[in-house]
Structure 1
Amino acid sequence: MGFTTLVEEYRGGLLENVHYGAVSVVDEKGNILYKAGNPEHMTYLRSAAKPFQALPVMKRRIDEVYGLTSKEASLFTASHRGEAFHIEALESLFQKMGLKEEELHCCSTYPLNEEAKAERHRANEPTRKIFHNCSGKHAGLMGLSKYMGWDIDTYYKPSHPVQQEILEIMAYIAEVPKESIPQGIDGCGLPIFALPLHKIAYSYLKLACPDLIEDIEIRNAAAVTAKLMNDNPLMIADTKFVCSELLKDNNLTAKGGAKGVYGIGLRKERIGISLKVSDGSEQVWPCIIASILERLGYSNQDTIDRLYALVPNTIVNDGGTIVGERRAVFQWEF
Structure 2
Amino acid sequence: MSFTALVEEYRGKLLENVHFGVVSVVDEKGNVIYRAGNPEHMTYLRSAAKPFQAIPVMKRNIDEVYGLTGQETAIFAASHRGESFHIEALESIIRKVGFSEEGLHCCATYPLNEDAKAERHRAHEPKRRIFHNCSGKHSGLIALCKHMGWDERTYYKLDHPVQQEILETLAYIAEVPISSIPVGIDGCGLPVHALPLNKIALSYLKLACPDLIEDSATRVAAAKMAKLMNEFPDMIADTKFVCSALLKDPNLSAKGGAKGVYGIGLRKERLGISLKVSDGSEQVWPCIIASILERIGYDNQETIDRLYELVPNVIVNDGGTIVGERRAVFSLER
Specify if TM > 0.5.
yes
Task: Give me the whole-angstrom Cα distance separating, in 2, the residues matched to 1:92 and 1:2.
Answer: 44
Structure 1: any 5+ residue segments left out of the alignment?
none
Once the two structures are superposed, residues 199-248 of structure 1 have per-residue CA deviations (whole angstroms, 9 ceiling, x without a partner) of 00000000000000000000000000000100000000001000000000
Please report how far the alpha carbon of residue 8 of structure 1 lies from its aligned counterpart in structure 2 after TM superposition.
Answer: 0.2
Please say if 1:292 is aligned against 2:292.
yes
| Equivalence for 1:45 | 45
Task: Give me the whole-angstrom Cα distance separating, in 2, the residues matched to 1:184 and 1:246.
Answer: 28
| Equivalence for 1:56 | 56
SS of the residue aligned with 1:2?
coil
Please say if 1:115 is aligned against 2:115.
yes
SS of the residue aligned with 1:9?
strand
Task: Give me the whole-angstrom Cα distance separating, in 1, the residues matched to 2:332 and 2:299.
Answer: 20
State the AA in 1 paired with 2:260: G
| Equivalence for 1:316 | 316
Please report how far the alpha carbon of residue 332 of structure 1 lies from its aligned counterpart in structure 2 after TM superposition.
Answer: 1.6
Task: Give me the whole-angstrom Cα distance separating, in 2, the residues matched to 1:9 and 1:35.
Answer: 22
SS of the residue aligned with 2:82?
coil
Task: Give me the whole-angstrom Cα distance separating, in 1, the residues matched to 2:169 and 2:90.
Answer: 26
| Equivalence for 1:103 | 103
| Equivalence for 2:261 | 261
State the AA in 1 paired with 2:27: D
Task: Give me the whole-angstrom Cα distance separating, in 2, the residues matched to 1:76 and 1:107.
Answer: 17
Please report how far the alpha carbon of residue 137 of structure 1 lies from its aligned counterpart in structure 2 after TM superposition.
Answer: 0.1
What TM-score results when the alignment is normalised by the length of structure 1? Answer: 1.00
Please report how far the alpha carbon of residue 32 of structure 1 lies from its aligned counterpart in structure 2 after TM superposition.
Answer: 0.3
SS of the residue aligned with 1:133?
coil
Please report how far the alpha carbon of residue 2 of structure 1 lies from its aligned counterpart in structure 2 after TM superposition.
Answer: 1.2
State the AA in 2 paired with 1:159: D
Please say if 1:280 is aligned against 2:305.
no
| Equivalence for 2:144 | 144
| Equivalence for 2:134 | 134
| Equivalence for 2:211 | 211
Task: Give me the whole-angstrom Cα distance separating, in 2, the residues matched to 1:95 and 1:126.
Answer: 20
Please report how far the alpha carbon of residue 55 of structure 1 lies from its aligned counterpart in structure 2 after TM superposition.
Answer: 0.1
Runs of 4+ in 1 over 4 A off after TM superposition: none
**What is the number of equivalent residue pairs in this alignment?**
334
SS of the residue aligned with 1:239?
coil
| Equivalence for 2:235 | 235
| Equivalence for 2:6 | 6
| Equivalence for 1:192 | 192
State the AA in 1 paired with 2:114: E
Task: Give me the whole-angstrom Cα distance separating, in 1, the residues matched to 2:170 and 2:113.
Answer: 30
Please report how far the alpha carbon of residue 331 of structure 1 lies from its aligned counterpart in structure 2 after TM superposition.
Answer: 1.2
What TM-score results when the alignment is normalised by the length of structure 2? Answer: 1.00
Please report how far the alpha carbon of residue 321 of structure 1 lies from its aligned counterpart in structure 2 after TM superposition.
Answer: 0.9
Task: Give me the whole-angstrom Cα distance separating, in 1, the residues matched to 2:179 and 2:204.
Answer: 21
Task: Give me the whole-angstrom Cα distance separating, in 1, the residues matched to 2:278 and 2:54.
Answer: 27
- Backbone CA RMSD of aligned residues: 0.5
Please report how far the alpha carbon of residue 158 of structure 1 lies from its aligned counterpart in structure 2 after TM superposition.
Answer: 0.1
| Equivalence for 2:329 | 329
Task: Give me the whole-angstrom Cα distance separating, in 1, the residues matched to 2:130 and 2:193.
Answer: 24
| Equivalence for 2:77 | 77
Task: Give me the whole-angstrom Cα distance separating, in 1, the residues matched to 2:224 and 2:248.
Answer: 16
SS of the residue aligned with 2:240?
coil
How high is the sequence identity, in percent, across the aligned residues?
80
Q: Is the Cα contact below 8 Å between 2:10 and 2:16 reproduced in 1?
A: yes
Structure 2: any 5+ residue segments left out of the alignment?
none
State the AA in 1 paired with 2:127: T
| Equivalence for 1:15 | 15
Task: Give me the whole-angstrom Cα distance separating, in 2, the residues matched to 1:212 and 1:98.
Answer: 36
Please report how far the alpha carbon of residue 83 of structure 1 lies from its aligned counterpart in structure 2 after TM superposition.
Answer: 0.4
Task: Give me the whole-angstrom Cα distance separating, in 2, the residues matched to 1:95 and 1:267.
Answer: 36
